[in-house]
Amino acid sequence: MHKPSLIPDFAYDPPETPLQFLHEDAQLLVLDKPAGLLSVPGKLEGRQDCLITRLQASRWDALVVHRLDCDTSGVIIFARTKQAQGFLGQEFEHRRAQKTYVARVHGHIAADSGRIDLPLGSDWDFRPRQKVDHLNGRPAVTDWEVIVRSQTETRVRLTPHTGRSHQLRVHMLALGHPIIGDQIYAPETSRDYPRLMLHAETLSLHHPATGERVSFTAPVPF
């Protein structure tokens, strides 16, 4: 018997903030996405307002390359031609694109760094949750490094080597240190926080026109 989802349907109330451009040229657009704004339109009614829709209002040629979770802020890249979109897509598919994130997590992490190598798959009974799935999950690897710690929380830099859905959120939960403000994976400890404390800080990849490696950074807002 199918179990009902225990994940409450979130109220979508996207922030009315202006677009924050980090870079713009003839091939690509790089923005700093605010937390609380979908990257692309949602499937349900009332979720058409999103970053790509707002961007195309002023840059009609913007094309989606990748996504960030609604609750995650930070660096996101769009293409301006089909050729650039294909090139950038290959950068992500073949893991030539490198990303780092900054997160505030619950608890005091004693070690200075480590690697989480746990396969992930969909938790079909509780969608959109993902879970560690050693039987049917897809490989997922995340490196973490402590930036600063206190007795109650730790600020970490996360480097994902794969791009699974909710990878960083599930991996930190598996480590015993869920990301602060996570309404899906740690709602009982996140009610007092205004947002998910996860930010895409840097993105590095090859430029579709020159082939040179370029890097973009969005300042951490928390």
From residue 73, alpha-carbon distances to 4, 6, 222 in Å are: 30, 25, 10
**Whole-angstrom distance, CA of residue 65 vs CA of residue 88:** 7
- The number of residues making up the chain comes to 222
192 is catalytic: no
Active-site annotation holder among 49, 61, 69, 182: 69
**Whole-angstrom distance, CA of residue 4 vs CA of residue 53:** 32
**Whole-angstrom distance, CA of residue 42 vs CA of residue 48:** 6
73-79 vs 198-206, strand pairing mode: parallel
Q: In a 3-state reduction of DSSP, which class is residue 72?
A: coil
Helix (H) or strand (E) holding 56: helix 51-56
68 dihedral zone (left: phi>0; alpha: psi -120 to 50; beta)? beta
Give the catalytic positions in this structure: 69
